Chain A
Amino acid sequence: MNSLRVTISKTPRAAWPFVAFLGLFFIGGLIRPGLMSIESLLGTAAFAMILAVASYGQTVAIVQGGIDLSVANTIAFTALSFLTLTRSLGVGLALLVTLALGAMVGAVNGLIITKLNLTPIVTTIAMNGFLFGIILLLFRSSELATIPEAVSAVTSGRIEFLGTSFPAALLLGLILMVGLQLLISYSGWGRQLIVTGTSAEVARYAGISVDRTRIMGWALTGFLNAIAAIVIVGFYSQASPTMGASYLLGSVAAVVVGGASIFGGSGSFVATVGGAFVLGQVATLVSVANLGSNIQQLIYGVIVLGVVALYGRKKKA
């Protein structure tokens, strides 16, 4: 009994969403035995991975103690830029320019937040509105139907596995997760970002250049949002000025369900993937049980509330 308690308390927080995901998966199997298959698991995982990829940028923002409400239109802006640029520059160059654009959007957010002391919420809302204007002025989305083959191949293209197949986006998302997790857990900058997110004052006393760490963090957020944009374009084969809307709060939900503190300093990419998997499995169960999207949203809310009640209490001063 005691050893069980020790095991539970020693399990890293990032593991819990995966435990919940597997629990939901088995519940699905009990409701409908057909759901208990590798195909079903991989199908849910692939869709959930798209939300996870769209939430990587948000993860960085929340870890450093901010929140990114410009994710919706950063995704739409970079996606439409990518498709437009591809026609004149080719896929490779367009990809580089698009990622640079994303990083630039993030860096501007970071500069405003650190140098002008605006709160991240207000700054990113302003950026979101600004980008929406740019999108409406620059792009005519009806012309942007063709998706480059190389992009489709690494996102919606299928990979053979154990006699079945899954979309390449799943693998791509996992590779990104591992890379980003290594960056944030083991690089000097990653650790500085976490310290900064926990307490900017402590970080300053530790000799960390807080502003520079922050700006780099925001640039990474923008860069990751641009990656998400390209993955979404490839996976769903479409792009529109409102394509990012559902990721605005969806990304925050995935990060929070993963167990990150909304006050910063904790959270990981692995946990975000776990959070997205939980939300994705709920969506699968709800659609199998034919309950409709309202019930799905309701359950999302209850899950967010439950996770926040578990982890999110304000410390008493």
Chain B
Amino acid sequence: MTRFRRLFSSGGLARLRSEGATAPIVAFATFFALYIAINPEILTRFQLQTASNLVVPLAFAALAQMIVVIVGGIDISIGAIMSLSNVSFALLMVNLSPAIAIPVTLGIGAAAGLFNGFLVAYFRLPAIAVTLASFFIIGALTRELMDRPGGGISYDFFLATSGELIPFVPVSVFWLALFSVALYFLLQRTRFGRHVYAVGSNADGLEAAGVNSKRTILLAFMLSGVTVSIGAIMLAGSTLTGDPRSGDAYLLNSIAAVALAGVAFAGGRGSILGAILAAFTLGLIGNFLYFAGINSSWQYIIAALILLSVVAIPALVSRIQAERRKTK
């Protein structure tokens, strides 16, 4: 009981608030309540499974984008890395077992992160420009590997990534939860994790304290690349195919999810739970409208308005408070 209370007083809620995760949690809770009210069927096994298969890859992409944003960067090539990993994995699965295909694909994600991170950290080039260049380069490589959807994903693999673990618990959510817990411990409980957050808020200060900030940035980009490729494997599993265009949508959506999660674009802040809930909210809007019988084109407008209100309302409140303080 005391442990429970501690989770919700000091460590838990306070941390979530300081990481800016309150708004996405409230947004997600509201959204999900509405969703269940309109479509109680979501709680059936089949719908839970479809819905989570839809949003889990976006959650991985959002986490990957968040890691780069925490170290003060942004990744324009995230969709391209997603497509490359997705296509590579589908091609590897034609002849090889997942035990080989999965590590190789994660290696490809890490290599893409290494390329970006090396140029950003050691050459002091702006992340946005470096990843713009790798967007073109990785995109070219991907379409060279595969120019139309294909590959060899088996139904067994679909069951392993996108089926059900136990009734009412989709496997995809299980894998996401497992990864998130590991990421949580890596970012919040290790020296490397503290450096990741510190390098985003003050790289020079960290360097002065004797920490190798360049290596931290490089490793963060590589971790981000691996995270993207896990999302790409999940996507390949749920769609049973590799597609050179499959990652396209994740560029803007991953940035939107990270913004919705309240991650500061100046670096140094970001909540894992916030990013996942933000991705779930954005990813399920289209689905929600479909069941509410509304033209699903509205999803783009509603996503923009949710993003704007969730991000802008706290900004507006603090601005008004600041002005009131000034007049006093």
Q: Which residues of A are in contact with B by a Cβ distance under 8 Å?
A: 67, 69, 112, 116-119, 121-122, 125-130, 132-134, 136-137, 249, 252-253, 256, 262-263, 293-298, 300-302, 304-305, 308-309, 312-314, 316-317
Flag if B129 contacts A312 (CB, 8 Å). Answer: yes
Q: Which residues of B are in contact with A by a Cβ distance under 8 Å?
A: 74, 76, 119, 123-126, 128-130, 132-141, 143-144, 204, 252, 255-256, 259, 265, 295, 297-305, 307-308, 311-312, 315-316, 319
Chain A hits for B298, CB < 8 A: 133, 137
Flag if A262 contacts B259 (CB, 8 Å). Answer: no
Partner of A121, one of B204, B265, B300: B265
- Give complex CA distance A129, B312 in Å: 17
Closest to B311 in A: A118
Flag if B126 contacts A262 (CB, 8 Å). Answer: yes
13 A–B contacts from the bound complex (CB under 8 Å): A112-B312, A119-B265, A122-B256, A126-B259, A129-B304, A133-B301, A136-B300, A137-B298, A256-B129, A305-B137, A309-B125, A313-B123, A316-B124
- Give complex CA distance A252, B130 in Å: 12
Knowing A119-B265, A130-B304, A301-B137 touch, does A294 contact B132 (C-beta < 8 A)? no
- Give complex CA distance A271, B136 in Å: 21
Given contact pairs A249-B76, A256-B129, A308-B126, enumerate 14 new A-B contacts (beta carbons under 8 Å): A119-B265, A121-B74, A121-B265, A129-B304, A133-B298, A133-B300, A262-B129, A294-B144, A298-B141, A301-B137, A305-B130, A305-B137, A313-B124, A316-B124
- Give complex CA distance A8, B133 in Å: 26
Partner of A308, one of B129, B299, B319: B129
A-B contact count (CB 8 A): 131
Chain A hits for B316, CB < 8 A: 116
Flag if A301 contacts B134 (CB, 8 Å). Answer: yes
Chain A hits for B125, CB < 8 A: 308-309, 312-314
Flag if B312 contacts A130 (CB, 8 Å). Answer: no
Flag if B129 contacts A304 (CB, 8 Å). Answer: yes
- Give complex CA distance A112, B315 in Å: 11
Q: How far in angstroms is the closest Cβ of chain A from B297?
A: 4
Chain B hits for A314, CB < 8 A: 124-126
Q: How far in angstroms is the closest Cβ of chain B from A69?
A: 7
- Give complex CA distance A49, B309 in Å: 38
Knowing A130-B305, A133-B299, A136-B300 touch, does A301 contact B136 (C-beta < 8 A)? yes
Partner of A312, one of B76, B126, B301, B305: B126
Partner of B301, one of A69, A121, A134, A294: A134
Closest to A308 in B: B129
Flag if B126 contacts A263 (CB, 8 Å). Answer: yes
- Give complex CA distance A309, B132 in Å: 13
